[in-house]
């Protein structure tokens, strides 16, 4: 499973004009492309928690109640993480005899009880948080890189990232980890690889052979390196003759971060706004399934898909059924992939504790609209650069619950033309969506919110293994406080 941070419009096959993803484009040509596939959240951590639990962040606890409709994630001062009560995909796959590995960013909490090897992964090479930095190791430590249980260094130290030149070998290191794992496991036991590298996230980096090679600048260099890496993994599966017994899925955790554009941000192509928002640009994702000999090459599936479906689909591939003691939001995509079926299902767009929008069929209803605050916007933070749809891309949190804004995403993928409230189409769409939303909300049992409390003392001061490396730092006094989430 390949899980990256790229926008819907960043792949050649999704229309990026520089067309610099030949390997992903070939993966699409040999597999199935989903044009209507969604993340579970417009932000990284909640999306990843949803992917691995098959459950919306509102259920698995990856949200905040500190304020209404606020995006929250797992910076290193976060106290929470993935609860033990959640059953993660690797935990379940292990029961079916799978060897499981995560390469790259975990992002479900960095304190010891949240360690990926405590939640079903056999192996880990990567880091618990994003590669933000460099820090001075006094007010804030640099993010550690782990091999399995113990740290092996820190970003900007043993794992250098040159922010000025943009050079870093991280993606190559992560690629090698993946190739080694595949080589080692391919002919032994069934395996589950979650390749969640952190490149293309700002600050953007690439290794020397890719730096300066893109027509799109540094972000394009990083995309080219991702694409090249994926090509090498698929090629290895073919060389090892296990391609026909290996299901590969590529998608992304949220829309391209347009606040980092143009130097460090990607493309959501025709869609409105980007990361942090519940417009299509924030949550519609590129998605490719590849399974030679099983999936007919070159298909397009208009199935509404979700990253949570990867949970249920992976279980189905392993001959397992999802847990029956809890609500699971993921759908098994195999009927869509193997029989071309399209199943009716809603897509819910949450921001923190708030259901902002829902899509059913081709109609999307917005119950709330918000980009970011006027204050943030006036400071230059723009989630929708160059875009402005009156009454839609609002800078105050607007309540439309009594009269939702409805768009037809086929005729109007850019969410520019709300349907007339008086139209029959509006009335019919509203009635269908309202019914599904009521069902959802009536049955909903929100999880204990994990992203409310922050504490500087819990940061990555002294991760396991730091003693051996002489890299333990002294934490400050423990002062729990409410995390501040500004959008």
By annotation, the residues acting in catalysis are: 44, 107
Coil/strand/helix, residue 105: coil
160 binds a copy of itself (CB under 8 A): no
Residues 6+ apart with CB under 8 A from 381: 259, 372, 487
CA distance 283 to 413: 13
340 binds a copy of itself (CB under 8 A): no
Nearest approach in angstroms of CB 27 to a copy of itself is: 14
Pick out the residues of the known binding site for Ca(2+): 44, 253-254
Cβ closer to a copy of itself: 300 or 444? 300
| Cβ proximity of 139 and 231 under 8 Å | no
261 binds a copy of itself (CB under 8 A): yes
Residues 6+ apart with CB under 8 A from 466: 144, 151, 472, 473
Q: What is the DSSP code (8-state) at residue 83?
A: -
CA atoms within 13 A on the CB side of 96: 17
Nearest approach in angstroms of CB 19 to a copy of itself is: 5
Mark the segment that binds a copy of itself (CB under 8 A) among 201-209, 266-274, 439-447, 457-465: 266-274
Which phi and psi (to 5°) does residue 181 adopt? -65, -45
219 binds a copy of itself (CB under 8 A): yes
CA atoms within 13 A on the CB side of 474: 2
Nearest approach in angstroms of CB 222 to a copy of itself is: 13
Cβ closer to a copy of itself: 5 or 66? 5
Nearest approach in angstroms of CB 263 to a copy of itself is: 7
71 binds a copy of itself (CB under 8 A): no
359 binds a copy of itself (CB under 8 A): no
410 binds a copy of itself (CB under 8 A): yes
Q: What is the DSSP code (8-state) at residue 271?
A: S
| Cβ proximity of 65 and 482 under 8 Å | no
Cβ closer to a copy of itself: 28 or 454? 28
Cβ closer to a copy of itself: 217 or 292? 217
Coil/strand/helix, residue 378: helix
Cβ closer to a copy of itself: 213 or 486? 213
DSSP-assigned letters across all residues of 177-198: HHHHHHHHHTTSS-EEEEEE--
CA separation (Å) from 202 to 9, 219, 222?
17, 9, 10
Nearest approach in angstroms of CB 256 to a copy of itself is: 11
Q: Which of 215, 241, 341, 438 binds a copy of itself (CB under 8 A)?
A: 215
Q: Which of 96, 163, 300, 343 binds a copy of itself (CB under 8 A)?
A: 300
State the residues that interact with a copy of itself by CB under 8 A: 9, 12-19, 29, 33, 35-36, 214-217, 219-220, 261-263, 267, 269-270, 272, 300, 302, 362, 385-389, 408-417
């Amino acid at each position: 499973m390949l899980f990256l941070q790229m926008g819907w419009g960043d792949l050649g096959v999704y229309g990026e004009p520089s067309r610099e993803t030949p390997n992903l484009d070939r993966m699409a040509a040999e597999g199935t492309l989903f044009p209507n596939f969604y993340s579970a959240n417009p932000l990284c951590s909640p999306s990843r928690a949803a992917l691995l639990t098959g459950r919306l962040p509102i259920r698995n606890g990856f949200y905040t109640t500190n304020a209404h409709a606020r995006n929250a994630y797992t910076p290193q001062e976060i106290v929470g993480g993935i609860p033990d009560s959640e059953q993660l995909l690797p935990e379940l796959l292990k029961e079916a005899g799978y060897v499981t590995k995560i390469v790259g960013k975990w992002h479900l909490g960095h304190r010891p009880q949240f360690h990926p090897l405590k939640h079903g992964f056999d192996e880990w090479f990567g880091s618990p948080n994003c590669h933000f930095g460099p820090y001075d190791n006094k007010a804030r430590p640099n993010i550690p890189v782990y091999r399995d249980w113990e740290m092996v260094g820190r970003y900007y130290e043993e794992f250098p990232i040159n922010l000025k030149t943009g050079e870093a070998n991280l993606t190559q290191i992560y690629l090698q980890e993946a190739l080694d794992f595949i080589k080692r496991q391919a002919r032994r036991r069934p395996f589950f690889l979650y390749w969640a590298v952190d490149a293309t996230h700002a600050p953007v980096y690439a290794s020397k052979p890719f730096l300066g090679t893109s027509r799109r600048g540094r972000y394009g260099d990083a995309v080219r390196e991702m694409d090249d890496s994926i090509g090498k993994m698929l090629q290895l599966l073919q060389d090892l003759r296990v391609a026909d017994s290996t299901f590969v899925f590529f998608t992304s955790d949220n829309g391209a971060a347009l606040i980092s554009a143009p130097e460090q941000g990607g493309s959501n192509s025709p869609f409105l706004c980007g990361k942090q928002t519940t417009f299509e640009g924030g949550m519609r994702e590129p998605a490719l399934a590849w399974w030679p000999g099983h999936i007919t090459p070159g298909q397009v599936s208009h199935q509404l898909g979700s990253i949570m479906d990867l949970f249920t689909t992976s279980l189905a591939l392993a001959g397992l059924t999802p847990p029956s003691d809890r609500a699971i939001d993921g759908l098994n995509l195999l009927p869509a992939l193997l029989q071309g079926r399209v199943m009716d299902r809603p897509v819910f767009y949450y921001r923190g504790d708030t259901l902002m929008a829902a899509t059913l069929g081709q109609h999307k209803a917005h119950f709330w609209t918000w980009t970011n605050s006027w204050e943030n916007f006036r400071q230059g933070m723009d989630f929708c650069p160059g875009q402005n749809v009156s009454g839609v891309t609002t800078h105050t949190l607007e309540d439309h619950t009594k009269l939702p804004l409805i768009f037809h995403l086929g005729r109007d993928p850019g969410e520019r033309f709300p349907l007339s409230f008086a139209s029959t189409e509006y009335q019919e769409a509203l009635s269908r969506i309202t019914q599904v939303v009521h069902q959802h909300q009536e049955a909903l049992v929100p999880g204990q919110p994990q992203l409310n409390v922050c504490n500087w003392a819990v940061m990555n001061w002294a991760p396991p293994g730091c003693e051996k490396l002489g890299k333990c730092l002294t934490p400050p006094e423990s002062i729990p406080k409410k995390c501040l989430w500004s959008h």
